[in-house]
Chain A
Amino acid sequence: MFSILLSRIGQSALTLIAISFAVFAAVFLIGEPAALYDPLVREDPARLAALRAELGLDNPLHIQYARFLADVMSGQFGQSWVYQEPAMKVILERLPATLELVGCAIAIAFCLGYPLGLISGLKKPSRLSAAIERVAVLGYSAPTFWVGLVLIYIFAVGADALPSIGRGDTIQILGVRLSVFTADGLSHLILPAVTLSLYEIGYFTRMISTMTEETKHKTFISFAHAKGLPMRRVISNHLLKAVSAPLVTIVAIETGALIAGSVITETVFAWPGVGKLLVDSVAALDRPVIVAFVILTAMAFLALNLLADIAQMLMDPTLRPKRVAA
């Protein structure tokens, strides 16, 4: 198992290198970096050449890439052109807000989607399951920005019950600023988290419902009934185990997708997270921040997948190496 993990980590490293190259190449596609860095030099060939030499852009591509890679390895993503701070620092300052939002959204989605999917899958075919499925489809086909606007209209504008802009009060916990633990912060969190989770609730419900229905027709479930186990025990001990193992991967992938895709929700609610930062940076062509963001997201994805692999290996004995040499 240890060696499997090591090889997974090795694979992740290779993926990361591939992504770094893609990012590096994409940077060149945006335009001449020296000209973008300082628009004033664009018209003057002499100053442009001087700046290129200063920035190392006159080196061959592979040397530039090697330097870029070396910098990335040591955590150097360059200075943000807009904030005049290290790009990574700018991102890391805003990351907790996004992680908090995504964490809450996933938690809501899981806590609602899991039982709903389970009920729908177990009761299938029935009116109840059909109703749950229909609502779930509605949940993941409604566009996020629209849901966000509707929620703001109802709860912030209409009822004036919940705030719709920013994070509210935050407190420092273990060096990280979080809103969940203050009443004001929590009230700010509710609307964006619900908006972000709506798609995932629908997705989880559908997914778990399908897996549950598939599993309940498996022979080992019939056999568990035939053994005389009560329904409750068949579900808790046999069905849930089979449903939960593949679920870990789904949760991990969706978490990664939300981190990268919270942009719209963060923009709608002016949530000061990395999503909003990314939109601002793209608008301002703040290249170091974009590069750092892409690489960080890739790392988050890979880390989550690795965690999911480990969790799945712990939950599913058939994925573990056999204890009998085959």
Chain B
Amino acid sequence: MLKIHDLNLSFENGQSSAHILKDFNLTVTAGEIVALVGESGAGKSTVGAAIGGRLPPGGKIMSGSITFNGERLDSFSPTQFERIRGAEIGSIFQNPLSALNPFETAGRQLIETLIIRGGVARRSARERAITLLRRVGFDDPEIILPRYPHELSGGMLQRVVVAIALSCDPSLIIADEPTTALDVSLRNGIIELLRDAAEASQIGVLLITHDVSVVQAAAHRVCILHKGEVIETGATSDVLANPRHPYARRLISSVPPPTGKLKRLQNPPLSTLQPNSLRLDRNDSRAATGVVLQDVSVRYAGKRNIFLKQTTDLYALKNVNLSAAPGRILGIVGSSGSGKTTVARLIAGLADPTAGRITFTHAVEDKSGGSANAPTVDEAVASPTDAPLVQMIFQNPFASLNPRYSVFRQLIDAPKKVAGMSRADAEDQAVTLIEAVGLARNDLDKYPHAFSGGQLQRISIARALSMNPSLLICDEPTSALDVTIQAYIVDMLKDLNDAFGVTIVFITHDLSVCRHLCDDVVVLNRGEVCETGSTLDVLDAPKHRFTQRLVLNSNVCQRIDDRKAQAIKGAGSPNAGGTDDGELLSRIQSA
């Protein structure tokens, strides 16, 4: 049905040109889900754009062919593409909130497609829209139609997008990272929808993703793309079980295993960094710093409107008790909106608690052996000399590093200005650090735009280390990165903890990373702690209902395979997904 043969594609920008795809081959037959996997910049999305005739300016097909249902798409004109887009090729985008027009209701955006591309009469379009929404798992589509995108959850919106993609009975769906922007608990629902579409309607699906676990759960065949070249292709189970190409092996081994604990995934060069190579002396009594949150709440007071009717207060955190022991790695897990980031901001002093106490603890050398925790400094009275002890690494390195400062300046600014280090020392340290995180000395003079996400995140780590912190807060430091780079960063943090005894608070939604890295774990749900304990205890034998669901959902592949084994998939349409959706729906209904 879709056959791409020896496709060469390049981007031209003035004088320079980049060869994006080299002799690319791919076929998708009816009813088949083919996954296209690779890290960012590998050219995955370009394939999807070329099929849909949506190549960005400068993109040009040099040679090869794209044949779709007997037509040569590579020589199509824009108007010809308009005819087949939507009607024969449906598209699913990564982030449904940005894919849908915020100024239009979900219903109108669906119905518009039905009328213009599907040739459905205006009168029957609404009826058809309702049928479609029911098919993608909405029990009560009537209440979805008049909603604007911001009034629906991410999971619901992605279902609407799937409905739009299915609306004109296409023979091919291009799904570009359809689950990446969604919470883990919602991924399964979307994957099941895709499988259902492939099986029931004999639609071919090109699934573009960087997530190997999604591939495992959904795809019949897989095609691994690396720097524009297909390095491995075949049936999913074969490729994942026996990757032959070195990169494919690296990619697959980078995925933290769902169970058990690997000692080490990769080999970052941070091991070369000696504790004494940092110029900034740390007061020995603060060799490792822990943090204790006692009954901490963060409340956003409801606004009083003009009639003095107060909307209810919103708790970002409610009576949270947790502690990170000095020298250990504490994982904080939970789904989006659970208050994970608020905890990070509180510890870093970027936000203040409405109630409760945050205390830093230090491991004090005890003559009688072992170390004892002695709560000493309150957050509020921390003196300027204590300030450098906490450093934070943010989720998105593209946003957290100042684009107008050279790497060098970002590495020496804080030591010089905050810690009062001499310029020569700061420069020395910058060189040591940049090499320690695996970059070269001459990278110091470059600006952030010259680096990839993984490199930038390593620079972020170097920047945090420049202050020689005794407590490091990492807020989803790897979720914007590819798995191979994630493995690298995670190991780097582990080394840091081993070599320096730095306490790490690691915030993540990814349980397998947490399992791999963290000693202890705190599970947050809607601003409340529902379970704490040692990582393996909690994740292997979750007691709280929420933790159980989180653990269950985290392993997409296992769950769907289990179901298949039990042959309960015959039930057909997937239900409305996680309880979050369910609750939102019931609130909409009662509104």
Contacts and interface: CB of A to CB of B under 8 A. Distances in A.
Contact of B116 (A228, A238, A323): A228
Contacts of B105: 317
Given A318-B150, A323-B591, A228 B306 contact: no
A155 interface: no
A227 B164 CA distance: 7
A324 B584 contact: yes
Nearest to A125: B57
Interface stretch (A13-21, A141-149, A191-199, A218-226): A218-226
Contact of B306 (A10, A219, A324): A10
A129 to B, nearest CB: 13
A7 interface: yes
Contact of A324 (B86, B95, B591): B591
Contact of B86 (A219, A228, A325): A228
B168 A325 contact: no
A228 B98 contact: no
B151 interface: yes
Contacts of B116: 228-230, 233
Q: Which of B103, B314, B587 has the most CB of A within 10 A?
A: B103
B91 interface: yes
Interface in B144-170: 147-148, 150-151, 161, 164, 168
B588 interface: yes
Contact of B54 (A226, A230, A323): A226
A225 B591 contact: no
Interface in B82-115: 82-87, 91, 93, 95, 98-105, 112-113
Interface in A195-227: 218-220, 222-227
A322 B151 CA distance: 6
A227 B86 contact: yes
Contact of B587 (A220, A225, A324): A324
Contacts of A324: 151, 584, 587-588, 591
A253 B179 CA distance: 43
Contacts of B104: 237-238, 241
A230 B80 CA distance: 11
A243 to B, nearest CB: 10
Contact of A229 (B84, B86, B148, B150): B86
A241 B113 CA distance: 17
Given A3-B305, A322-B150, A241 B103 contact: yes
A167 B52 CA distance: 59
A316 B91 contact: no
Nearest to A6: B306
B113 A227 contact: yes
A230 B103 contact: no
Nearest to B176: A226
A227 B91 contact: yes
B588 to A, nearest CB: 5
B584 A226 contact: no
A198 to B, nearest CB: 32
Contacts of A10: 306
B416 interface: no
Contacts of B314: 326
Interface string B409-431: 00000000000000000000000
Given A226-B93, A227-B91, A317 B102 contact: yes
B435 to A, nearest CB: 38
B350 to A, nearest CB: 23
B227 interface: no
A156 interface: no
B117 interface: yes
B57 to A, nearest CB: 8
A228 B85 contact: yes
B306 A7 contact: yes
A263 to B, nearest CB: 38
Contacts of B85: 225-228
Q: Which of A10, A224, A238 has the most CB of B within 10 A?
A: A224
Interface in B301-337: 305-307, 314
A294 to B, nearest CB: 28
Contact of B102 (A220, A227, A325): A220
Contacts of B83: 228
Q: Which DSSP category, helix, strand, loop or mixed, fits chain A's interface?
A: helix
Nearest to B93: A223
A323 B86 CA distance: 30
Interface string A1-42: 001101100100000000000000000000000000000000
A242 interface: yes
A245 interface: yes
Contacts of B93: 219, 222-223, 226
Contacts of A242: 101-103
Contacts of A219: 93, 95, 98-99
Interface string A223-255: 111111111010001100110010000000000
B87 A228 contact: yes
Interface in A250-271: none
Q: Which of B101, B116, B587 has the most CB of A within 10 A?
A: B101
A41 B173 CA distance: 90
A237 B112 CA distance: 10
A324 B54 CA distance: 36
A318 B103 CA distance: 8
Contacts of A227: 85-86, 91, 112-113, 117, 164
Contacts of A245: 103
Contacts of B52: 226
Contact of B103 (A6, A229, A316): A316
A93 B99 CA distance: 53
Interface in A293-326: 315-318, 322-326
B132 to A, nearest CB: 13
B102 A318 contact: yes
Interface in A77-104: none
Contacts of A322: 150-151
A225 B55 CA distance: 12
Contacts of B161: 223
B186 to A, nearest CB: 17
B168 A228 contact: yes
Interface in A155-214: none
A242 B82 CA distance: 22
Nearest to A218: B98
A220 B307 CA distance: 38
A268 B528 CA distance: 69
A227 B173 CA distance: 11
A220 B148 CA distance: 13
Nearest to B307: A3
Q: Which of A7, A316, A317, A326 has the most CB of B within 10 A?
A: A317
A3 B306 contact: yes
B463 to A, nearest CB: 30
B148 A325 contact: no
Contacts of B150: 317-318, 322
B32 to A, nearest CB: 21
A222 B86 contact: no
Interface of A: 3-4, 6-7, 10, 218-220, 222-231, 233, 237-238, 241-242, 245, 315-318, 322-326
Interface of B: 52, 54, 82-87, 91, 93, 95, 98-105, 112-113, 116-117, 147-148, 150-151, 161, 164, 168, 305-307, 314, 584, 587-588, 591
18 contacts: A3-B306, A10-B306, A219-B93, A219-B99, A222-B54, A225-B54, A226-B52, A226-B86, A226-B91, A227-B164, A228-B85, A229-B117, A231-B82, A241-B101, A241-B103, A318-B102, A323-B147, A324-B151
Given A3-B306, A3-B307, A230-B116, 20 more contacts: A218-B98, A219-B93, A220-B99, A222-B93, A223-B91, A226-B91, A227-B113, A228-B83, A228-B113, A228-B168, A229-B113, A230-B82, A237-B104, A242-B101, A317-B102, A317-B103, A318-B148, A324-B151, A324-B584, A324-B591
Give the top 7 A-B pairs by smallest Cβ distance, nearest first: A228-B86, A226-B91, A228-B85, A219-B98, A223-B99, A241-B103, A228-B117
